[in-house]
Amino acid sequence: MSKFKFELQNVLEIRNFEQQQAEGELAKCIAVETEINKNLEVIAMQYAALKQQMKGSLDFSDMMSQSQYSKLLDYQKEQLLTQLAQAKIETEEKRKILTECMKKTSALEKMKELQYEDFKLEMKRKENRRIEELSSIKSFSEN
């Protein structure tokens, strides 16, 4: 009995590899976004702590240093928001690439499944023909 061989198996393996690479790239982009969001949370906590400190202070030099620190936090926040916007754009691009890779891979896998079903049907037909031949030989030899 012959074995099933998908003619485009090498292409399918390459597409699977490309898909895995795209998944890895997307995961990296998502990790960058997560890190930026964590940094934004840290700045928000620092900003809240600064506001808490400013409530009780009446010293002008403390208020000036706290104001400067507040400006620094605002600047850092703006930088992180810019980075986050860029990271989101990059993540969306990687997501589109992954979607395309998945479409190509699934198309080849579907083709492989269809060819395998055709192969099984052909094997069944051959087996039925052999059984019929054996039956006819057996009935011929009995007569």
Q: What is the mean pLDDT of the chain?
A: 91
Query: Has this prediction a pTM greater than 0.85?
Result: no
pLDDT of residue 49: 87
Read out DSSP for 49-93? HHHHHHHH---HHHHHHHHHHHHHHHHHHHHHHHHHHHHHHHHHH
Is the Cβ–Cβ distance between 88 and 33 less than 8 Å?
yes
Q: Which residues of the chain have pLDDT under 50?
A: none
pLDDT of residue 1: 62
pLDDT of residue 134: 83
pLDDT of residue 27: 97
Amino acid at 19: Q
